[in-house]
Amino acid sequence: MSYQELVDRHQNTLQAAIQAQLQRHFYAHWNEVPSGKIYGETANAEGQKAFEQRLNSKFTDLLQHSEDHWIGEEESPYGFALNVLYPQTSTERLIANLQSAAQQWQSLSPETRAAILIEALERASKHFFEIAYATMHTTGQGFVMAFQASGPHAFDRALEAIAMGVIELSHIPSTVRWEKPMGKFQTVANKSYYALPKGVGVVIGCSTFPVWNSTPGIFANLITGNPVIVKPHPKAVLPIAILVASLQQTFADLQLDPHIIQLAVDSSAQPRTMELVLHPAVALIDFTGSTTVGNKIEQAVLPYKKETFMEKSGVNAIILESVANLNAVLDNIAFSIALYSGQMCTAPQNIFIPDTGVATPEGVLDFDAIAQRLIERLNALLENPKMGPGTLGAIQSPATLKRIEKARSLQLPILRDSHPLEIPQFPNARTATPLLLKAPFGATDIYEHEWFGPINFLIPAPSYQAAVEAVTRSAQLNGALSSLVYTTDESKKQEAIANIALRGKTPLGINFTGFIWINQSTAFTDYHGSGGNPAGNATFTDSAFISRRFNIVGVREIPGTSA
C-alpha cells in the first residue's frame, strides 16, 4: 500500500479528530464498551487466551536489535507472578538502532506520518482485550477500567496528539515567495521553512497507567518526527510492550525501519532512567510518577536544556457547600473515592465540609451527618458484589498498604477503616477499601501532601471561603490535577473558579453527579493537567505539548542568482 493510499484511507479519521480538538466537543474514535457486539463475540476470550499464553515465557514480538539478556519481574496484584521475560537492550545499542530510522522517519511529511500512525493504532486496537488483561494483571485495575484506560481512552489520547501535531505543523508553510515593495522596485526572496525534530524522545512509564500516561508523549514525539524510546515501569511492562511490538510490526510492514520506536526495560534493582535521560542524543523526556523522581530528573537534565514534559504528584480536593440532590452527590463522591482504590493521579484525597454545614433539600446537615451518609453510600457500593470488586480493583504496590498503616498511625479519628475486600475469582488479590480519617483544618502538614492510594481526609473548614483558600493554596504549593466543588450559589461558584481554577491553575469540576467524575479526563475535550502548578509542567494535549518537540529553520534565497 502506498503512503498516499494510507493518507486517503485515514483522512476522515484525522479530520474528525482535528475538528474535535478545535471545537472541544465529544469525540471518541474507539468504543469504550468491551462488548462482543462491538469488537466481536470471541474478542474477549481470544484476548484472555493471548494474555495467558504470554505468561511464563519470553516476549519475542519486538522487532529491535537487542543483547541476549532477558529480564522481568512483574507480579499480578491479583495474586500470581507473570514470569514474562523481555530482551534488555543497552542504551548505546538503542541509540545506534535508531540512527537510520530517525532519518527515514524525519523525511516523511506530517500528513504521511499521521496516516502511518493512525494505521498503526488501528492495527494495535485489535489487541485491546489482550492489553486489557495485561493491564489488569500488572496494575490491579478492574477489567473494564483496564480495557478502557489502556485501550480506547489511551488510543484516543494518541489520536489527539497526532491531530494536534498536524494542526501545529500545518501552520508552517513549506515555501513562500516573499516580496517587499520599495518604491520603484521591490526586493524578492524565495523562503523555505523546515520543522526539524529535536532528537530522541524518552517516555518513562508508570506502574498504574502504563499505556494511558505514555501514549500522549509517544505519539507527540512520533508525529513531529522524533524517534522514541519507551522505558516502562519494571512492574508494568507487558501492556506497553504489546503496543510497542504492534507499532514496530506496522512500521516494518510499511517498509519502514521498526526502530523508530523501541522498548527499554530495566529492573527495580538496576533502574536506568537517569542513564537514558542523560544520554546526549536524548532531547525530549516525558515522565509520569512521583514528585521525588520527577524533580530528580528535572534537576539532572537542567544543565543540558532538554525538554521535559512532567506529570508528578498532586493533592486533589472536593468542597461540599450546598447540593440539589445529596444522594446523587454522595454516590458520585463515593465512586470517585473507591475507583481503582484511589490509585489515580486525579483521584480526590481531601474533602472539605464547612462548619456551617451543607445545605441540602433535607435541610442543613453538619459534618457528622454528611460523613455518615458518605460512608453509607461508599459501603453500599463496595458491598455490591457486581460493582464493588470491579470498581475497587487491587493494590498495585505493597508500599500502598504500608502507607495505609502509616495513615492509621496518625492518631486522627477513623471515620471508616480500611480492610481487604474479597474477590472470589482471585482469593490472593491484594486489596484495601478506602480509609476515611477526620483531620483538623489546621493539620496542613498532614493532608497537604499526597497520600497515594485509598486514603481520604474529611476536613471541617471554618467557612466555605476558608476551604476555597486552602484548596487554592495547596494547589499553588503542592500541585493538583483535579478539584471539585459543590455549590448551588452562583457567587460561590464564581469564587471557586476565580481562586481554585484561575489562581491555583487547577482543573475544576462543579456539581458532578451521574456518569462524570473528578477522576476522569477525556480526550479531545479535557486538558489533562494545566502545567501551571507543581503537579506538572505539561498538558495533555495543548499546543505547547507539540510545539516544544520541534524547531523551525528557514532558508532564504534571492531568485535568479544561482551560479
Average pLDDT per consecutive 10 residues, the chain (563 residues; last block may be shorter): 93 98 95 95 97 98 94 98 97 94 96 98 98 98 98 98 97 93 90 96 97 98 98 98 98 97 97 97 96 94 95 96 98 98 96 97 97 98 95 97 98 97 96 98 96 98 98 97 98 98 97 95 94 94 96 93 61
Domain for residue 553, yes or no? Answer: no
Within a domain: residue 383? Answer: yes
Q: Which of 295, 312, 329 is the last residue of a domain?
A: 312
Q: What angle do CA 242, 135, 88 make, to 5 degrees?
A: 45
Please tell me whether residues 234 and 288 are part of one structural domain.
yes
Q: Residue 356 belongs to a domain with what CATH number?
A: 3.40.309.10
Residue 262 and residue 394 share a domain: no
Tens digit of each residue's pLDDT (9 = 90 or more) over 85-113: 999 999 999 999 998 899 999 999 999 99
Helix (H, G, I), strand (E, B), or coil: what is residue 146? helix
- 307, 322: one domain: no
Q: Which three cell numbers stand for residue 1?
A: 500500500
Residues 177-214: b if buried by 16+ CB within 10 A, e if exposed? eeeeeeeeeeeeeeeeeebebbbbbbbbbbbbbbbbbb
Task: Say if residue 458 is in the same domain as residue 405.
Answer: yes
Task: Please state whether the peptide bond connecting residue 541 to the residue before it is cis, i.e. omega within 30 degrees of 0.
Answer: yes
* The domain boundary residue, chosen from 312, 339, 354: 312
pLDDT, tens digit, 9 for 90 and up, residues 217-272: 999 999 999 999 999 999 999 999 999 999 999 999 999 999 999 999 999 999 99
Residue-level pLDDT at 562:
62
The pLDDT score that the predictor gives to residue 560 is 80
Count the domains in the chain. 2
Domain presence at residue 46 = no
Given a contact cutoff of 8 angstroms between Cβ atoms, the answer to whether 323 and 330 are in contact is: no
| Mean pLDDT over the full length of the chain | 96
CATH number of 102's domain: 3.40.605.10
Is residue 556 a part of any domain in this protein? no
Tracing cell 493504532 back to the chain, one arrives at 121
Q: Are residues 322 and 300 in the same domain?
A: no
Question: How far from chain centre, in Å, is Cα 496?
Answer: 26
pTM of the model: 0.96
Residue 86: CB partners within 8 Å, gap ≥ 6? 58, 59, 62, 70, 71, 72, 237, 241, 263, 265
For residue 515, the model assigns a pLDDT of 94
- Tell me 342's DSSP state: G
- Do 186 and 139 belong together in one domain? yes
Q: Single out the residue in 465, 482, 510 at which a domain terminates.
A: 510
Which residues constitute the domain of residue 230?
58-312
Is 285 found in the same domain as 166?
yes
411: left (phi over 0), alpha (psi -120 to 50) or beta: left
Q: Is 347 domain-assigned?
A: yes
Strand partners, 350: 317, 457
Residues 299 and 335 in one domain: no
Residues 295 and 325 in one domain: no
How high is the pLDDT of residue 555? Answer: 96
258, 391: one domain? no
Q: Residue 559 domain-assigned?
A: no
The pLDDT value given to residue 453: 97
Do 322 and 301 lie in one domain? The reply is no
Residue 364 placed within a domain: yes
Q: Are residues 256 and 361 in the same domain?
A: no
- 75 inside domain: yes
